[in-house]
């Protein structure tokens, strides 16, 4: 079942300026995990803002759960969509962790007894249950981002949008967040749309959409993309280390049965290759 559909969508911020998104069309199936990548200014965040109804297209249509987005139904649609942004600092509204997770629930008029249960469950899910009464300001970046995820999960969205949600974290914090999201996705099977510049994170997605200067240039699997692209520079992207290494080995005559997506697959392929020699 299609949960998100863009049909020939155009968007620009000002009439005098060029289109930021040009004739964008794609469909996302419920439960899919999709990464959106592209150079700075290619239009990724604009796509996310259109899905959440923070912006509306000047031409073309966007459907969420089969419903065409417009100014009148956007409030209902937003109930289904959760967002986590780049900067954890900007996502806090209350003083304590509890206040923060409660905020979205209160806004949606969730009864008090259900609210406490949801707060407990969602903090538990991200491993922050011991921080209920802590001041959000005093948490580390990774902890803040986990609380932001808990706040979003508490509203039980069917679509989760991550806009560079790990980019301000150190490698440890980043891995923690990625693992938390993967774990939550396994349990709740929401549709996941991730904007990222981290191509290792892209390898975890079912599908990857590439934007270049506001146009959709590729819509494929990460494995296809990483094995095909010869000119990463033209996309404004740097290939993951595994892809670089696999390409160098291919030039030396190694024949991989499938392009390795991560170091584990690369090692397995090399091990098998070595045994074959
Ligand atoms: N509020 C705004 N007003 C005018 N122009 C904007 C606004 N927000 C974004 N733009 C422009 O729209 C284009 C696309 O921006 P967008 O933020 O969608 O790109 P992005 O791919 O998410 O970039 P980045 O990787 O740098 O976050 C850019 O040229 C940007 O300057």
Angle made by CA atoms 120, 170, 269, in degrees to the nearest 5 = 100
Encode pLDDT of 27-63 as tens digits: 999 999 999 999 999 999 999 999 999 999 999 999 9
Q: What is the best residue among 18, 21, 38, 41 to mutate for testing ligand 1's pocket, by most ligand atoms within 8 Å of CB?
A: 41
- DSSP 8-class letter at 129: G
Torsion angles phi and psi, residue 267, rounded to 5: -65, -40
Q: What is the best residue among 21, 45, 52, 57 to mutate for testing ligand 1's pocket, by most ligand atoms within 8 Å of CB?
A: 45
Take residue 63 and report the two structure tokens written for it: 């459907």
Residue 208 pairs with which residues in a beta bridge?
Answer: 35, 220
42 lines ligand 1 (CB under 6 A): yes
Cα 134 to ligand 1 centre (Å): 35
* Close Cβ partners of 56 (under 8 Å, ≥ 6 residues apart): 50, 69, 70, 71
186: left (phi over 0), alpha (psi -120 to 50) or beta: alpha
Encode pLDDT of 239-275 as tens digits: 888 888 888 888 888 888 888 888 899 888 888 877 5
DSSP codes of every residue in 46-97 = HHHHHHTTSS--SEEEEEETTEEP-TTTHHHHHTTEEEE-S-GGGG--SSBH
Please name which of 198, 127, 158, 151 lies closest in space to residue 32, comparing C-alpha atoms. 158
The atom of ligand 1 lying closest to the CA of 42 is 21
196 lines ligand 1 (CB under 6 A): no
Please name which of 90, 158, 91, 149 lies closest in space to residue 124, comparing C-alpha atoms. 149
As a whole number, the mean pLDDT across the chain is: 90
Q: Check residue 236 and give its pLDDT.
A: 79
Domain ranges of the chain: 1-80+187-229, 240-277
* Atom 13 of ligand 1, nearest CA residue: 41
Torsion angles phi and psi, residue 28, rounded to 5: -120, 130
173 lines ligand 1 (CB under 6 A): no
Homologous superfamily of 1-80+187-229: P-loop containing nucleotide triphosphate hydrolases (3.40.50.300)
40 lines ligand 1 (CB under 6 A): yes
Q: Is 195 helix (H, G, I), strand (E, B) or coil?
A: strand
Angle made by CA atoms 181, 183, 184, in degrees to the nearest 5 = 65
Is residue 173's pLDDT more than 90? no
Is residue 276's pLDDT more than 70? no
């Amino acid at each position: 079942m299609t949960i998100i559909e863009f049909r020939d969508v155009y968007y620009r911020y000002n009439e005098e300026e060029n289109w930021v998104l040009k004739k964008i069309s794609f469909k996302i199936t419920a439960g899919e995990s999709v990464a959106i990548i592209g150079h700075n200014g290619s239009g990724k965040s604009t796509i996310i803002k259109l899905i959440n109804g923070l912006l509306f297209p000047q031409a073309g249509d966007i459907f969420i759960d089969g419903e065409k987005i417009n100014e009148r139904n956007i409030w209902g649609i937003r109930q289904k969509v959760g967002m986590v942004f780049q900067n954890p600092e900007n996502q806090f509204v209350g003083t304590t962790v509890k206040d923060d997770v409660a905020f979205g629930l209160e806004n949606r008029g969730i009864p008090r007894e259900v609210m406490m249960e949801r707060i407990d469950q969602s903090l538990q899910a991200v491993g922050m249950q011991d921080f209920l009464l802590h001041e959000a300001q005093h948490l580390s970046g990774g902890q803040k981002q986990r609380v932001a995820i808990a706040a979003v999960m508490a509203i039980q969205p069917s679509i989760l949008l991550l806009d560079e949600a790990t980019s301000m974290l150190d490698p440890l914090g980043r891995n923690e967040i990625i693992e938390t999201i993967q774990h939550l996705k396994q349990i709740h099977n929401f549709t996941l749309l991730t904007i990222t510049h981290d191509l290792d994170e892209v390898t975890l997605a079912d599908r990857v959409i590439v934007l270049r200067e506001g146009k959709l240039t590729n819509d494929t699997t990460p494995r296809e993309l990483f094995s095909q692209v010869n000119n990463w520079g033209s996309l404004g992207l740097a290939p993951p280390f595994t892809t670089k290494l696999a390409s160098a080995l291919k030039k030396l005559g190694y024949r991989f049965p499938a392009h390795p997506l991560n170091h584990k697959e690369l090692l397995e392929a090399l091990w098998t290759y070595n045994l074959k020699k």
